[in-house]
Structure 1
Amino acid sequence: MYPNSPQVNSSAQSPFMVNQEDEIDLKVIIFNYLQYWPIILIFMAVGVIAAFLFNRYTTPVYKVESSILVADDKPSLGTDLFESSGLGMLQGKNNIENEIGILKSYSLAEQTINALGLNVQYFQEDLFTSTQLYGRVPVLVTVDWTQPQLVGGMFKIEVIDDRSFHLTVADDEFAVFSPSDKFFKSTFEGKLELQEVYSFGEVVSGENYSFKVDLINALAGDEILFKVSDTPSLALKFREDLAVTPINKQASILTLSLETPVRRLGQDYVNKLMDMYLQRELDEKNRASENTVLFIDQQLSGITDSLRFSENRLQQYRTENRVFNLSEEGAVIFERLQELEKEKAQTEVTLKYYKTLQTYLANNQEAELVAPSVIGITDPLLNSLVQSLSELQAEQSRLKANFTDQTPVVRENASRVQNAKRALEENVNLAAQNTQDVLADLNNRISMIERDVNSLPQTERNLLSIQRQFSINENIYVYLLQKKAEAEITKAANMPKNSVLDYAKSGQLPVAPKRSLNLLIGLIIGMILPIGFITAKDFLNTKIEDPKELEKQLKVPLIGMIGRNNSDDALPVFNNPRSTVTESFRSLRADLAYLSPQKNNLTLLFTSSISGEGKTFVSMNMASVFALMGKKTILIGLDLRKPRIADDFNMVNDKGMSTCLSSNVSWKDVVKPSGYENLDVILSGPIPPNPAELLLQDKFRMIVSELKEEYDVVVFDCPPVGLVSETKELFGFADVNFYVFRQGYSMKGNSQILNNLVEKGGVSKIYGVLNDLHIDKGYGYGYGYGYGYGYGTNSYGYHEEVQLPWWKRALRRHK
């Protein structure tokens, strides 16, 4: 059984195991990124350049703004009664929201586009972009929209002379627009076949296209692009692009804004939109007057013939009977009858209006209603009900143009329309019944007066009857003419209640691209991309990079760090004694005075997790640094499976430890001088078939005992403990054990192997060593920081400066 040192708590193994806080973690993170500062700087420069090119070659977008004053609706007399009655028939509407909806409606956008003729857009190619032309275009394309058309793609015109041009397709992303189904476009999958040359004014036609091109001011050699767009698509686009907002919650002023790359186009569109908006309002007002005139004309068409007939009959009777005037008694009776007949005529007109309303409501017609006040009905409640119904129906028409019938807002407004119709129907029925009662009373009064007529002579009675009929028709005719004149005057005097405050104007500076913001975004993206890549690389990296991270993972102290050996020499301690690598071994040798105090003879063991982590390099140079000190040192190669020492010392691995353990050869017979003073070497020897069993013999224990008596320092170069089992049995022979990790090579999980050796394997006096330190992962670490936590290479002559790349030297100066 091999000797084992007593197990001790790893936290108390060394004064180097201190409980360090994370107060410098931020510095570690910052300096971890700063080591890549040239790459980050290059990406930031590329980001700024890309943003500059984007600003340079992106078409600028300008904001066009205008404003409209929306007049507040004054409630009609009686409307407040229904609003406060709780019946829900005339719920108050936000006038501002309604006007916003009208301004952003599809129908208004469609009318504006048709008025401006925006279905064809013209472009001129620049170096990297194309500029839209508007206003004075070099050619004029007229499209026949009565048949299917290709839309969305791009045509190219090359002017040959003032009579002909060459037509080609610049972009074949066409769709087919059909006038029979305006809101659906089918994909064009065929191949467009065009002639090479066309004449100006000639109709260019084929399957799914028909247009002609007229020359305006283009010159020979000019190239113009044009695109055909259907009105529904343009209307939807402009409707979405247009923003309509009130200037504040209290004001009734609306601001219209549109962002467009063509300032004049935006101004013309917004101005025309406002004109169409005001014209729509005026048309609605005029429509009421026009309906009134139409209603009166229908009444006049019937009364005119009656008036002409009665007039001729009266004239004929007077001529034949030579009777021209009534007697005094007949005149009095006629005057009384005339007054009653006039009142009866007006009552009949009123009753006819009520019956027209009843028919309208019974048939659910959508035509414009004639206001009662137009024909002399002064009932305020009836007037307010008719006005409210007209407004609700107009709102319903607007909503249906933009939404489906199942949309909640459409259904809610439809319910209001039905409530208003029911209220109006009840009121009209009651008014019609009252009017019929009045008319019956008038007929009774007329009948009573007619009895007095019988007392007159026959001739006078006949004259009175004919004159009475004429007077009735004349009064009705005059009354209707008066109302028609009033309606026409009202129509002529109609003005939109809303008005334009400011016509559209464009800002001097474009709103897009935002040059300063884009440059800032380019700079930030250029910085984020490499930082993100570095962060992802570090996060996904499974190799040990950061000494600080390794130190946190280990349950034992990380006692030393060995810098990268930039030379091909495996023994820099002997051949380059002033290098930083040599200084790191000297620092580790000095630390051993604290790890194993008051010991004249010292046995060191070096192992690692896997092959290639540099345990042989570290063990050779540690043996060398003790030899330089004058200590009699021997280096023993115990890696019987994959020996490396012989090659580094330029020896032949013909005999060694495997020779001693497998035969009667004494260890003294296999000792070889290293060629350096105070340093001997026992090679591993020929590779045996059973290396683990050889090292488990008692003979090996006796050899180690004799070596400790003969040499001041014994150094074991052992096989990787993560790959073979015999190394675990060798820890008991050493005073101090070193577990070697290699930066950028060892896996992070290897630290757990060492922790398991301490916690479960009972191994004590074991410490971590980080080899090949060359990547600076934080403040205070890095190649050249040879004193463990050292203070780097300097110019004070302690050891030679390692020549680093210029950017690393610059970075170190910043540190």
Structure 2
Amino acid sequence: MNRDSLQIEEDTIDIKEIFRTLYRYKIMILLFVILFGCTSSYYAYFQPNLYKASATVEVGLDKHSSSGQDVLAMAMESGSMNAATEMELIQSRFLTEKALKEVDFTHKYYTTRKFKEIELYKESPFQVGMLKGYGISFDFYPVDEKHYRLIVEEAKDRHGNLWSYDKTLPYGEEIVTEHFHLNIVKTKEPQDTKYRFVILDPVNMAKNVARGVRVDQLSRYSTILEISYSDNVALRAQEFANALAKAYIEQNIEKKTQEATRTLDFVDKQLKAITENLKGSAIKLEEFKKSSNTVSLSAKAENILKQMSESETKLAEISMEDEMLNTLYKQMKSGQDSESITATGLVMVQAQISAMLKELHEVIAQHKILRETKTEMYPEVRRLKRVIAELKKNVLMTIESMSQSIKEKKALLERSISEQQKLLNQLPADERMYGQLQRKFVVNEKIYSYLLEKRSETAIIKASTVSKNRIIDKALYPESPIKPKRKMIVLVGLILGLILGIAVAFLREFLDDRIKEEEDVTKVTDVPVLGQIPHMKEINGAVQVFASPKSALAESFRNIRTNLQFMVRNTSTHVIAITSTIGGEGKTTTCINLGGIMSMADKKTVILNLDMRKPTLHEKFGLQNSKGMSTLLSGHTALGEVIQQTEYENLDIITSGPVPPNPSELIQSPLMEKVLEKLREVYDVIILDTPPIGLVTDARTLMSFADTSIYLLRADYSKKGFLHSIEKLSKEEISGLSIVLNDVKTSRHGYGYGYGYGYGYYEEDEK
């Protein structure tokens, strides 16, 4: 139970020490907080605003049907697409270039307001046209209604040479120099005295702007995409987000229109050839009719010609399909980008190939997305690569199989036409010739009609093409910036300042070897602490305990007086030696006030100034120092001659006297002990103001004469290493050795020196 109580007490002391350290360095910590707060505020203020505008679009994914498509229906089918592919398309440089045609990123106009440079965009009072001089920073100063001043300060040309420019010019005039060619037109009255502008090269603009485009899928399975763009100009961010969404919709229409255009080109090419054949066959048929007077055929001939016409029409369609399959096969074998390959123009039996191509496109898109974050040796990347190769192989095998099937159909149709040709050859020559000419005319006419029909359908579709994608929400004007988070920056700065201030405080505390409080003493040595003396204010020409008898200082000396009574018994006279390690620890002042407090208790007290090297005691009382301990111990004066009375009752002083050449020998002389014996007969308390024990050995001799030895330490001045000297003295059996801690700041503890006494004693401290 006692151990637990002791542990709790130790923990409490540690926590108190932490708060004492923080309180001790509160000013420094506050300065760190203010410094970092001001720095972060400066940084936050001058950081340019960044605005984000977002538009949302719906991606209409293509859905291919497996039936109902004829020879040209697939000409209108785009390649398969998915949301990931569309996201990459939106972020492409190609689409950014289309959007940049509507939004100006090349002209940058700036002005300074409230010590911060801001971009004006469309609020600029002038416009610049440029043919040469991209990337040069120009300073623009309005002069009057018709003139301006243009300045370039130390720019570098392409050879690295410095050049400058400074001229006053009229608005609207072409300025042509070795380094730039521009024209500035005034659009409205300038509000500021200085502007700056930079015209960027439009060639590289798309690449730079595309980096700021962000596309997000609102949910994993959603076809709604959010197109965002961030810019330091709110209006430009809104305009570009909307322009990019619009460009995305338009490119989708252009893509479908391009496919329809390719179909129309294909049909027109076929129509051109068929038209020539149709005209030729019509002319030949007409000429034969005139030359042979044949105007009709027999029923048998018509039946043969009808069958031949149907077979030849089918053969022509199959031949076109075979040509398209061959083209697709060559594209696949050549290694062309498989995402751009479509089944344009294939008949409905090739819907299987279209489905396979769609699957191939999806796998390629997955592979492309994965390769953005994974290496080619990643297991899933390698798997998708194998799947792509297998799908390509299957497409090629399917095409080969279909080509073989078409060849077999063509062979059957050609045999059928050959057999019908034999039957036709059995007819009379005129009828046979007439039938052949009419058969060619009918076949060409059917193919011509079919192509005209498909051309009309494709033209209508092209004219009425709409995108399956649509804009859901246009970007709104961003009222507030997304960056910088100024409050957060300032808060982080304040917190960092606080943390660093506390860290430096504890580091200083760790490196600080000065004694600050009683606990620092008791941790190192077992020598008792007689008391603590608070920080005392200097009072000219007065002893503090007499000037303020009810102060905390006077009470602390009363406490020391009381404790001294318990240290010495059975003696009528109490000899007290007071020493310290070095000068400046308040030894003489302590002697004076201790002597004063003793005299106030009706004890006849004398103070001996034995610090003969640096005497200051006489100055405190305004006494003469022409004779004293040095003359007494050297035998030049008698004891009665050196004792000087002070203005205070029961308090006498023996000053040090003139500085002798041999103070140590005088103190160690037999006369010193005789002087003390004489003084014991007269005085109740004899206080010896000794030299610092850390500098000379005189104090050890004097401490051997004393009943009580007080070792004085000064808070925030004496080093902790001084405690080793005290430990050494305690082992030398110095009688009545104790410690007094001087100059303790009362604010360190937050309370007065209440050693069982009322607070009325300290009322003078509040005056």
TM-score calculated relative to the size of structure 2: 0.81
Q: Of the candidates 137, 148, 161, which is equivalent to residue 166 of structure 1?
A: 148
**Paired AA for residue 558 in structure 2:** R
C-alpha separation in 1, matches of 2:369 and 2:17: 65
Q: What's the counterpart of residue 562 of structure 2?
A: 590
Question: Structure 1's 33 and 404: CA in aligned 2 closer, same or farther, altered over 3 A?
Answer: closer
Offset at residue 44 of structure 1 (A)? 8.3
Per the alignment, in what secondary structure is the counterpart of residue 740 of structure 2? strand
Between 352-361 and 215-224, the greater mean CA deviation after superposition: 215-224
* 1:132-156 alpha-carbon deviations (Å, 9 max, x no partner): 4444754332333xxx533263442
What secondary structure is seen at the aligned counterpart in 2 of 1:151? coil
Partner of residue 613 from structure 1, selected from 561, 585, 591: 585
Deviations along 1:185-211, whole A, 9 cap, x unmatched?
x797632425421341x3333344333
- CA offsets 1:30-87 (integer angstroms, 9 cap, x no match): 5776688899999989999999999999876655333222345658769xxxxxxxxx
1:153 paired residue number: 137
Comparing 527-536 with 133-142, greater Cα deviation is found at 527-536
Q: What residue in structure 2 maps to residue 713 of structure 1?
A: 685
Give percent identity, aligned residues only: 27
Deviation at 1:704, TM superposition (A): 4.7
8 A Cα contact 2:608 2:656, kept in partner:
yes
Deviations 1:237-275 (A, max 9, x none): 654544443444454333344455544333222111110
Amino acid at match of 1:67: T
Which residue of the partner structure matches residue 14 of structure 1? none
* Alignment equivalent of 1:602, drawn from 574, 577, 582: 574
| 1:754 counterpart letter in structure 2 | I
1:339 aligned to 2:326?
no
Which amino acid letter does the alignment assign opposite residue 506 of structure 1?
A: Y
Shift of 1:443: 2.0
CA deviations 1:373-395 (Å, max 9, x no partner) are: 63314333311233345567789
Pair 1:276-2:247 in alignment: yes
Q: How does 1:612-691 map to 2 (within 5 A)?
A: 612-658=584-630, 663=634, 668=639, 671-675=642-646, 676-687=648-659, 691=663
What's the offset of the Cα at 1:577? 3.8
Structure 2 residue corresponding to 1:735, chosen from 707, 710, 719: 707
2:583 counterpart SS class: coil
Kindly state the Cα deviation for residue 632 of structure 1 after the two structures are TM-superposed.
2.8
Q: 2:291 aligns with which of 313, 320, 323?
A: 320
Three-state SS of the structure 1 residue aligned to 2:163 is: coil
> Over residues 130-187 of structure 1, what are the superposed CA-to-partner deviations in whole Å (9 max), with x where a residue is unaligned?
554444754332333xxx53326344252633xx4314248x69788xxxxxxxxx79
Q: Matches of residues 96-135 of structure 1 in structure 2 within 5 Å?
A: 96-123=83-110, 125-129=112-116, 131-135=118-122
Deviation sequence 1:214-236 (CA, Å, 0-9, x none):
34344799865433234476546
635-644 vs 747-756, greater mean Cα deviation: 747-756
Secondary structure of 1:772's counterpart equals: strand
- Aligned twin of 1:70: 59
List aligned pairs for 1:114-513, cutoff 5 A: 114-123=101-110, 125-129=112-116, 131-135=118-122, 138-144=125-131, 149-151=133-135, 153-156=137-140, 158=142, 160-161=144-145, 164-169=146-151, 190-200=162-172, 202-218=173-189, 225-231=196-202, 235=206, 238-249=209-220, 251-260=222-231, 262-366=233-337, 371-372=342-343, 374-389=345-360, 420-506=391-477, 508=479
Q: Taking structure 1 as reference, are residues 594 and 372 closer, same or farther at Cα in structure 2, changes over 3 Å only?
A: same
Q: Residues 137 and 398 (structure 1 numbering): CA distance in 2 closer, same or farther, change over 3 Å?
A: farther
- Check whether the contact 1:114–1:231 (CA below 8 A) recurs between aligned residues: no
Q: 1:531-546 residue pairs with structure 2 within 5 A?
A: 541-545=512-516
Aligned partners of 1:514 and 1:322: how far apart in 2?
98
Name the residue aligned to 1:767.
738
Amino acid at match of 2:177: G
Q: Is the 8 A contact 2:629 2:656 kept in 1?
A: yes
- 1:352 Cα deviation from its structure 2 partner: 0.7
Q: Helix, strand or coil for the counterpart of 2:540?
A: coil
For structure 2, the residue ranges without an aligned partner over 5 or more in a row are 1-5, 68-79
**Once structures 1 and 2 are overlaid, which stretch shifts more, 706-715 or 627-636?**
706-715
Deviations 1:635-677 (A, max 9, x none): 233334433324334445555555566x566883674224244
CA shift at 1:102, angstroms?
Answer: 3.2
Question: CA separation in 1, counterparts of 2:458 and 2:340?
Answer: 14
For 1:773, the aligned partner's letter is V
Q: How many equivalent pairs are there?
A: 747
Deviations 1:782-813 (A, max 9, x none): xxx35579876xxx57653355xxxxxxxxxx
Q: Check if 1:801 corresponds to 2:761.
A: no
One-letter identity of the residue aligned with 1:168: L
Match for residue 567 of structure 1 among 523, 536, 539? 539
Which residue in 2 is equivalent to 1:82? none
Q: Summarize the Cα distance change of 1:394–1:30 in structure 2 as closer, same or farther, 3 Å threshold.
A: closer
Between 27-36 and 63-72, report the one with greater CA deviation: 27-36
Bigger mean CA deviation after superposition, 465-474 or 534-543: 534-543
Measured in 2, the distance between the counterparts of 1:411 and 1:44 equals 55
Separation in 1 of the partners of 2:264 and 2:352?
23
Q: Distance in 1 between matches of 2:494 and 2:394?
A: 67
In structure 2, C-alpha distance between the alignment counterparts of 1:224 and 1:753, rounded to whole Å:
74
Which shifted more, 532-541 or 404-413? 404-413
1:273 is aligned with what amino acid?
L
Is the CA contact (8 Å cut-off) linking 1:63 and 1:258 kept in structure 2? yes
Q: Secondary structure at the match of 2:101?
A: helix
Report deviation, 1:359: 2.1
Instruction: Sort the Cα spacing of 1:700 and 1:151 in 2 relative to 1 into closer, same or farther, 3 A.
Output: same
SS in structure 1 at match of 2:326: helix
Q: TM-score, normalised by structure 1?
A: 0.77
Q: 1:152 to 1:280 in 2, by over 3 A?
A: farther
- Answer yes or no: is the 8 Å Cα contact 2:84–2:365 preserved in 1: no
User: Deviation digits for residues 399-425 of structure 1, max 9, x if unmatched?
Assistant: 99x999999999998877655444433
Cα distance in 2 for residues equivalent to 1:684 and 1:107: 100
Aligned equivalents of 1:579 and 1:725: distance in 2? Answer: 36
